[in-house]
């Protein structure tokens, strides 16, 4: 959240509704008849926090660097958000043109994500691409003080190009690694707003607030459908999990309803969140094998598939998982479910950085894993299963999925696009590279005195407090 207030992009999500895309640096834009060119006209008077004017060259350079990073620079989140962008060009002192390789139904949504920010070329050139220690942005707030492992203090940018904003004089972000401590700070009023990415609010915390009149009078719990899901991740290139029969058996064995009860702030799901227009509706999912109750018929079919694949007596499996709630609460459910079909699981708690490394190198057979895409839109959420994607840890590759994925992204009619997206999800449910138990709901705690702010539903979607104010 802090960087979203120091650095901004061309467009953003509406802070009132958290939905439609509205201007930010760009005061307006025009889309070509073929929907492959976007011309943005910049708002006047934008300056960097060091006083230098922000130029269209800064904008074009930043976007090109994100979409096509220089050698040795990795852009795991932001780069994926600009898939399909051919180039950005400064047409003159006020206009920037972005060219796409094909029409995109989600381009503006992706451009509005907080990862797509404009950086000061004159600063990075001097630092040869190193980190921006001084945090020189152009957003509504400037870095005042960084207290390592304690807090980040921002102060109002009095030279901000939008008249009369921001409304707040400053913001202090407290870096609280322990969720219990963070929730206690919220209850006490020391913290007035939590971030969705921090998971500082648990489902139990939310219930406590909502069932306590004293707390709920002051604190509002906000819920968002999220692009983060938990499930069984198979390395589809590594035996025995390259055999689809084993992956189908796992999916049949998973008791998704039980997992949702443990997670609480979750919804059972396929490959897309059913709380959105894109995912298969919950009512339909609950009637399907692997999702229905009771489980007897599905367990029997899972055992048959294992035997057919050459494992009539089951198999042993070491299952790495991320240290913390994933390993302590959720992975034991997978272990219990798979034991019913003869798969004997040993849980291997793994540090997040180590887990990412073994995923990136393909040095695993299967894992219990929470996967997060930046956006709920299929252009983002389904890239995890396209050939060669940097976060396709299942190493899944299917020519039909790849073709449909490209087609849906270029289909501007929503009804037609939805039909293609449904075909993709149905195929993924058949091939099961990542049998999913549920999608999380994001939870945010906010004191009711904080007004003028509503985050978008996606991860890192408009955490900018430019419009926020305190009702005291």
Cite the beta strand spans of 186-242 per DSSP E: 219-234
| Domain assignment present for 344 | yes
Question: Is residue 16 over pLDDT 80?
Answer: no
Clarify whether residues 115 and 147 are in a common domain: no
Clarify whether residues 17 and 151 are in a common domain: no
Candidates 389, 259, 405; CA nearest to 334 is 259
What pLDDT, on a 0 to 100 scale, did the predictor assign at position 374? 81
Query: Quick one: average pLDDT of 55-73?
Result: 91
- Is 172 strand, coil or helix? strand
What pLDDT, on a 0 to 100 scale, did the predictor assign at position 179? 81
What is the DSSP annotation of 145-188? EEETTTEEEEEE-TT-SSTT---SSEEEEE----HHHHHHHHHH
CA 329 vs CA 27, 31, 58, 203: distances in Å: 47, 48, 46, 13
For residue 413 the two structure tokens come to 């009619």
* % the chain with pLDDT above 70: 94
Clarify whether residues 184 and 103 are in a common domain: no
Query: What band does 178 get if pLDDT is binned at 50, 70 and 90?
Result: confident
Convert the pLDDT of each residue in 148-169 to its tens digit.
Answer: 989 999 999 999 999 999 999 9
What pLDDT, on a 0 to 100 scale, did the predictor assign at position 204? 86
Clarify whether residues 61 and 149 are in a common domain: no
Do residues 438 and 263 touch, judged by C-beta distance below 8 A? Answer: yes
User: Picking from 187-201, 216-230, 232-246, which range would have the lowest pLDDT averaged per residue?
Assistant: 187-201
What pLDDT, on a 0 to 100 scale, did the predictor assign at position 128? 56
Candidates 70, 42, 49; CA nearest to 3 is 49
Give the domain-ending residue among 134, 166, 193. Answer: 134
Question: Is residue 138 over pLDDT 70?
Answer: yes
Query: Quick one: average pLDDT of 106-129?
Result: 86
Query: Quick one: average pLDDT of 87-115?
Result: 95
User: Picking from 73-82, 296-305, 369-378, 448-457, which range would have the lowest pLDDT averaged per residue?
Assistant: 73-82
Quote the CA–CA distance of 253 and 296 in Å, as a whole number: 9
Residue ranges making up the domain that contains 152: 141-225+442-451
Clarify whether residues 374 and 256 are in a common domain: yes
Quote the CA–CA distance of 323 and 369 in Å, as a whole number: 11
| Domain assignment present for 299 | yes
Question: Is residue 341 over pLDDT 80?
Answer: yes
Quote the CA–CA distance of 324 and 337 in Å, as a whole number: 20
Give the CATH number, domain containing residue 392.
3.10.105.10
Question: Is residue 378 over pLDDT 90?
Answer: yes
What pLDDT, on a 0 to 100 scale, did the predictor assign at position 455? 66
Query: What band does 81 get if pLDDT is binned at 50, 70 and 90?
Result: confident
What domain count does the chain have? 3
Query: What band does 132 get if pLDDT is binned at 50, 70 and 90?
Result: low
What pLDDT, on a 0 to 100 scale, did the predictor assign at position 223? 86
What pLDDT, on a 0 to 100 scale, did the predictor assign at position 124? 86
Clarify whether residues 220 and 281 are in a common domain: no
Clarify whether residues 172 and 301 are in a common domain: no
Query: Quick one: average pLDDT of 310-321?
Result: 97
183: Cβ contacts below 8 Å, ≥ 6 apart: 200, 201, 202, 205, 445
The single-letter DSSP state of residue 365 is: S
Question: Is residue 460 over pLDDT 80?
Answer: no
CA 55 vs CA 58, 86, 246: distances in Å: 5, 20, 55
Query: What's the pTM value of the predicted model, to 2 decimals?
Result: 0.83
Clarify whether residues 168 and 233 are in a common domain: no
User: Picking from 53-57, 71-75, 313-317, 344-348, which range would have the lowest pLDDT averaged per residue?
Assistant: 71-75
- Is 415 strand, coil or helix? helix
Count CB neighbours of 247 within 10 A. Answer: 26
């Amino acid at each position: 959240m802090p960087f979203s207030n120091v650095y901004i992009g061309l467009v953003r999500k509406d802070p009132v509704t958290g939905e439609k895309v509205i201007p930010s640096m760009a005061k307006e834009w025009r889309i070509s008849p073929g929907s492959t060119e976007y011309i943005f006209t910049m708002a006047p008077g934008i300056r960097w926090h060091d006083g230098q004017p922000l130029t269209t060259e800064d904008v074009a350079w930043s976007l090109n660097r994100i979409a096509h990073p220089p050698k040795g620079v990795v852009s795991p989140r932001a780069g994926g958000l600009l898939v399909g962008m051919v180039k950005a060009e400064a047409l003159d002192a006020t206009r920037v043109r972005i060219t796409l390789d094909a029409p995109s139904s989600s381009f503006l949504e992706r451009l509005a994500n907080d990862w797509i920010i404009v950086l000061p070329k004159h600063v990075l050139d001097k630092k040869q691409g190193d980190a921006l220690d001084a945090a020189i942005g152009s957003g509504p707030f400037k870095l005042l003080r960084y207290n390592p492992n304690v807090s980040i203090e921002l102060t109002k940018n009095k030279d901000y190009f939008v008249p009369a904003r921001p409304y707040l004089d400053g913001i202090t972000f407290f870096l609280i690694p322990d969720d219990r401590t963070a929730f206690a700070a919220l209850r006490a009023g020391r913290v007035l707003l939590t971030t969705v990415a921090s998971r500082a609010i648990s489902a139990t915390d939310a219930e406590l607030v909502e069932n306590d009149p004293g707390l709920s009078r002051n604190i509002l719990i906000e819920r968002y459908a999220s692009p983060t899901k938990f499930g069984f991740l198979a390395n589809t290139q590594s035996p025995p999990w390259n055999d689809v029969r084993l992956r189908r058996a796992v999916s049949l064995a998973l008791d998704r309803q039980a997992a949702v009860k443990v997670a609480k702030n979750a919804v059972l799901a396929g490959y897309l969140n059913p709380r959105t227009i894109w995912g298969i509706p919950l009512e339909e999912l609950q009637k399907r094998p692997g999702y229905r109750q009771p489980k007897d018929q599905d367990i029997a079919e899972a055992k048959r598939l294992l035997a057919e694949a050459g494992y009539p007596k089951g198999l042993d499996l070491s299952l790495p998982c991320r240290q913390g709630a994933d390993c302590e609460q959720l992975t034991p459910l997978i272990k219990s479910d798979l034991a019913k079909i003869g798969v004997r699981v040993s849980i291997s708690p793994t540090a997040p950085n180590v887990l990412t490394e073994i995923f990136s190198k393909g040095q695993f057979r299967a894992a219990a894993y929470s996967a997060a895409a930046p956006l709920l839109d299929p252009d983002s959420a389904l890239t995890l299963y396209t050939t060669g994607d940097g976060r396709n840890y299942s190493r899944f590759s299917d020519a039909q999925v790849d073709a449909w994925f490209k087609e849906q992204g270029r289909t501007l009619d929503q009804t037609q696009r939805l039909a293609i997206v449904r075909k993709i999800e149905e195929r993924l449910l058949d091939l099961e590279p990542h049998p999913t138990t549920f999608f999380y709901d994001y939870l945010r705690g906010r004191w009711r005195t904080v007004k003028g702010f509503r985050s978008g539903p996606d991860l890192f979607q408009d955490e900018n407090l430019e419009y926020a104010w305190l009702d005291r």
